[in-house]
Amino acid sequence: MTRAPINKIIPLSLVDGPGNRTSIFLQGCNLACAYCHNPETQRLCNHCGICVSGCPSGALTIAGGRVNWDPEVCISCDQCITVCPSFASPRVRNMTPDEVFREVQKNIPFIRGITVSGGECTLYPNFIKELFAKAREQGLTCLIDSNGTTDFSRFPEMMELCQGVMLDVKAWDEQTYQKLTGGPTNSVVKKNLKYLADCNKLEELRIVCLQEEVDAEAVISGIAETIGEKVTSVKLKLIKFRHYGVKGRLQNTPSPDEVYIQKLLQLACGFGFKKAVIV
Amino acid sequence: MNQVLDIVTSKKLTYEQKVMSLAHAAEDTLSILSIPEKTRYYFEINAIDDLYEGHAPYRPRYIMPDYEKFIKNGSGFLQIDPPKDLDELLNSLMILYKHVPSITGFPVFLGNIDKLIEPFLDGVSDEMAKKKLRLFLNYLDRTITDSFCHANIGPEATRAGKLILELEKELQNAVPNFTLKYDPDITPDEYAELGIYTSLFCANPAFCNHKVHKKTYSTDYGISSCYNILPICGGAYTLSRITLPGLAKVATSAEQFLNELLPDCLEALGNYMNERISFLVEQSGFFESSFLVKEGFIHPDNFIGMLGITGLAECANILMGQNGKRYGHDVDADNLADQIMTIISNFAVQFPAKYSKIANGHFMLHAQVGMDYDLGITSGVRIPVGDELENIYDHLRHSARFHREITTGCGDIFPFETTGRNNPSAILDIVKGSFSLGSKYISFYEENSDLVRITGYLVKRSEMEKYRNNQVVLHDTTHLGAPNYEHNHLKDRKVRGV
Ligand code: SF4
Ligand code: SF4
């Protein structure tokens, strides 16, 4: 049976796609972006036990070299993820698509669909495929929120069920990308951009904007060149970097100023984006 | 007569507020209603409440004029010809509103306002229409100085409705309340989303389940005052309530409450309401003298008596006794509450109400939202503030279950995070879901909004602050809202969103 590590399931999400959605966050990522605002979703727990003693509610215990988490007792204080040195979380459940869907089902008829996010959810394509199959049966729409490092064209069954991808385009220049994300190349992201535009599954594009770290101008023009006329219909979110939740070298970096972000918006409009917004 | 002197010399009341209070005090010197000993007892233990409706009713509590008819016919009494353009329409309405009585002294229902205005917008530019409507809306807010006043829009999308929503966002007025009659099969998503978006700036409009409510009466319905679903061309004679926690406190057991106390108290309340209605219809002279009746804007056959229910949550919690099971959180408490609702509902269905033709000779149930003096009594059938269910869907499922028996107004209020403004379609999905389950009415405001919903009516936080500092304020509902906001810890209402 397929299982995937689930960081959390948010029953009501206003920010992960159109309408009201239940968001499922999968644990683990193949990048380590300097601006990541939920770094605790990046790695799997190695059961080092460091977080256990600091848990104020006794939700964490260690037995047989494994750290266990009791959701009934946990008070969601986030102490554990703050102290974890490994960009992980002890609050992860290994779940089957069935188990996840049982939680999703409780939210019908209040939701329009589900969004799988992360971490990087496309590290678990089979899990996504099975979950989406169940969700589609119940009339829910299914979206993927991804960093674009998995070649979508290699997973036609998953893409058949998926109704749209919200794609993070983190940087355009490869060196900038490597420095920001620790990933080897963004060539797959660019390939995906074209693929998704061609098959009409580009739900939303996201750029986290931060001067000197992100070549947002190049990203905007690069996207426009790649997706052609789709610029008029695709939503582009220019996300202002915020240091909230960030660990590491950018944790005290201030947000970009309004002038810069407005300039980017102007630029995007100039390239023909009709649905560009600042968030 | 100290009370009268207090009113006369008050430094917190406007002149107008003094005049109203004096009228009230004068009315209350009378004791013409026959009230049996037992009923008096229920009043004393705070199990029955007449909601300050006065000791000698001389006008129905809520009046829902047929404004369409007024526009078509004009009014002989007011010497108004049928309006021919937007200026004449707005002016005519402003005049008529002044002459629509109610318990508050102000009109509580201003009509299906978008429908009234829409035909007069032909050939008027948006800009011109907005200028006129802005003046009109500000006139209403500054002269109807009581928030128990309601205008309706929808379910169809109209240009008038859209202009009004845009203006409301800009004006930040507390009066009137707006309700969008919402039916997903009729109301376009885009229009409903504009409504939600607007409500996250100015707490208006609220959303009413049109599919459910349109079946309430044989005539069209309107939403008046503080969520009252009433027949147009009629209204409500009275609203008296059973304050369930007051009654539960004197119960010796849950069984005794269900089998003896509750039926007995309902009987007393029913008779009391009939007594009020009889005086109003037979002796007050209202229906003989009002031009609204003579010109057919209201008809005596279209009035009902509303039996109010409040504090179901605390009642169930009291009756659960030591075991600590709570309404909304425990099956046993909810099942008990359900039993209570069934008893009340069965009572209403069989008890004969006087002069209530449109309600087939019965009283209709209303989730009364509370009074400024209510301490630890939660509105209607709501879950208490601070005890809300963590998951909004569980909360709304619970609402749908307990809204079921209540036909003339019952709703919920949810503050939302500011980010909700970026995705009104998400909140609309929640409305759709809850209405499909049978929830009847829902409203939202943004977490930091100056305008907040107290129990159903709107008050500005800034005005409450003034009132607390002993300053005179324009809207008399601020007097009610300020203590209620504190007593019921409304600032602690659970903010929804992610
Ligand atoms: S969030 Fe982590 S530290 Fe806090 S109670 Fe839960 S498990 Fe313990
Ligand atoms: S969550 Fe982090 S700190 Fe806790 S046991 Fe796992 S790796 Fe160690």
The DSSP bridge pattern shows strands B441-446 and B412-416 to be parallel
Query: What order do you get walking across the sheet with A141-146 strand by strand?
Result: A93-95, A4-13, A21-26, A113-118, A141-146, A164-168, A202-209, A235-240, A275-278
**Per the structure, how many domains does chain B have?**
3
How many other CB atoms are found less than 10 A from the CB of residue A218? 13
Name the minimum distance, in Å, from the CA of A247 to any CA of chain B. 22
Q: Tell me how far apart the alpha carbons of residues B86 and B119 are, in angstroms, rounded to a whole number.
A: 9
Q: Assess whether A52 and A33 both reside in one domain.
A: no
Q: Tell me how far apart the alpha carbons of residues A16 and B308 are, in angstroms, rounded to a whole number.
A: 42
- The atom number, within ligand 2, closest to the CA of A46 reads 7
- In this prediction, residues B207-226 reach a mean pLDDT of 95
Q: Assess whether A18 and A79 both reside in one domain.
A: no
Place of tokens 């037995």: A63
Total length of chain B: 498
Enclosing domain of residue B125: 86-227+411-498
Contact A165, A146 (CB under 8 A): yes
Q: What pLDDT digit, counting tens, does each position of B262-314 carry?
A: 999 999 999 999 999 999 999 999 999 999 999 999 999 999 999 999 999 99
In the chain, the amino acid numbered A96 is: T
Query: What is the dihedral angle through the alpha carbons of B463, B464, B470, B473, rounded to the nearest 10 degrees?
Result: 40
Q: Is A157 helix (H, G, I), strand (E, B) or coil?
A: helix
Q: What pLDDT digit, counting tens, does each position of A24-46 carry?
A: 999 999 999 999 999 999 999 99
Residue B1 has a pLDDT of 52
Q: Does residue B68 fall inside a structural domain?
A: no
Q: Assess whether B141 and B259 both reside in one domain.
A: no
First to last CA, chain A: 39
Strand partners, B285: none
Q: Which residues contact B295 (CB under 8 A, 6 or more apart)?
A: B70, B73, B75, B76, B77
Q: Assess whether B425 and B443 both reside in one domain.
A: yes
Q: Assess whether A189 and A68 both reside in one domain.
A: no
Q: Of B354, B388, B422, at which residue does a domain stop? A: B388
Query: Which residue's alpha carbon is nearest to atom 7 within ligand 2?
Result: A45
Q: Tell me how far apart the alpha carbons of residues A193 and A148 are, in angstroms, rounded to a whole number.
A: 8
Q: Assess whether B39 and B91 both reside in one domain.
A: no
Q: Which two tokens stand for residue B165?
A: 């929503």
Report the CATH number that the domain containing residue A73 is assigned in CATH. 3.30.70.20
- Is the pLDDT confidence value at A19 over 60? yes
Place of tokens 């309004």: A258
Enclosing domain of residue A70: 45-90
Task: Give alpha helix (H) positions in A59-148.
Answer: 79-83, 97-105, 125-137
Q: Tell me how far apart the alpha carbons of residues A130 and A4 are, in angstroms, rounded to a whole number.
A: 11
Q: Assess whether A138 and A69 both reside in one domain.
A: no
- Within 13 Å and on the Cβ side, how many CA atoms surround A171? 24
Q: Tell me how far apart the alpha carbons of residues B317 and B322 are, in angstroms, rounded to a whole number.
A: 9
**Per the structure, how many domains does chain A have?**
2
Q: What pLDDT digit, counting tens, does each position of A187-214 carry?
A: 999 999 999 999 999 999 999 999 999 9
Q: Tell me how far apart the alpha carbons of residues B484 and B374 are, in angstroms, rounded to a whole number.
A: 8
CB pair distance less than 8 Å for B498 and A10: yes
Residue B462 has a pLDDT of 87
Q: Does residue B266 fall inside a structural domain?
A: yes
Q: Does residue B109 fall inside a structural domain?
A: yes
Q: Of A28, A58, A90, at which residue does a domain stop? A: A90
- Is the pLDDT confidence value at A83 over 60? yes
Q: Which residues contact B379 (CB under 8 A, 6 or more apart)?
A: B310, B367, B368, B369, B370, B455, B456
On chain A, the residues whose CB falls within 8 A of the CB of B422 are 14-15, 279
- Report the share of chain B in percent with pLDDT over 70: 100
Query: Which residue's alpha carbon is nearest to atom 8 within ligand 1?
Result: A55
Q: Assess whether B186 and B155 both reside in one domain.
A: yes
Q: Assess whether B113 and B191 both reside in one domain.
A: yes
Q: Assess whether A138 and A8 both reside in one domain.
A: yes
Report the CATH number that the domain containing residue A259 is assigned in CATH. 3.20.20.70
**Ligand closest to CA A57:** 1
On chain A, the residues whose CB falls within 8 A of the CB of B189 are none
Q: Assess whether A244 and A257 both reside in one domain.
A: yes
Q: Does residue B73 fall inside a structural domain?
A: no
pTM for the structure as a whole? 0.91
- Report the share of chain A in percent with pLDDT over 70: 100
Q: Which residue of A has its CA nearest to B423?
A: A14
- The atom number, within ligand 1, closest to the CA of A78 reads 1
- In this prediction, residues B357-372 reach a mean pLDDT of 93
Q: Assess whether B198 and B284 both reside in one domain.
A: no
Ligand 1 centre to CA of A124 (Å) is: 26
Q: Does residue B65 fall inside a structural domain?
A: no
Q: Of B388, B419, B446, at which residue does a domain stop? A: B388
Q: Assess whether A153 and A113 both reside in one domain.
A: yes
Whole-complex ipTM? 0.87
**Cα radius of gyration rounded to whole Å, chain B:** 22
Exposure b/e, B154-168, CB count within 10 A at least 16 = b: bbebbebbbbbbebb
Q: Assess whether B344 and B308 both reside in one domain.
A: yes
Task: Give alpha helix (H) positions in B45-179.
Answer: 67-73, 86-97, 113-117, 126-143, 159-171
Q: Which helix (H) or strand (E) holds B18?
A: helix B15-27
Q: Which residues contact B171 (CB under 8 A, 6 or more apart)?
A: B134, B137, B138, B141, B202
Q: Does residue B251 fall inside a structural domain?
A: yes
Q: Does residue B67 fall inside a structural domain?
A: no
Q: Assess whether A136 and A82 both reside in one domain.
A: no
Name the minimum distance, in Å, from the CA of B453 to any CA of chain A. 23
Residue A150 has a pLDDT of 97
Q: What pLDDT digit, counting tens, does each position of A92-107 carry?
A: 999 999 999 999 999 9
Q: What is the pLDDT confidence band of residue B472, given thresholds at 50, 70 and 90?
A: confident
Phi-psi region of B100 (alpha: psi -120 to 50; beta: other; left: phi over 0): beta
Q: Of A63, A90, A117, at which residue does a domain stop? A: A90
Q: Assess whether A160 and A86 both reside in one domain.
A: no
CB pair distance less than 8 Å for A109 and B427: no
- The atom number, within ligand 2, closest to the CA of A50 reads 3
Q: Assess whether A8 and A145 both reside in one domain.
A: yes
Q: Assess whether B167 and B271 both reside in one domain.
A: no
Q: Assess whether B162 and B217 both reside in one domain.
A: yes
Q: Assess whether A60 and A35 both reside in one domain.
A: no
Q: C-alpha distances in angstroms, B448 versus B38, B150, B247, B295, B417? A: 47, 23, 37, 46, 8
Q: Assess whether A153 and A50 both reside in one domain.
A: no
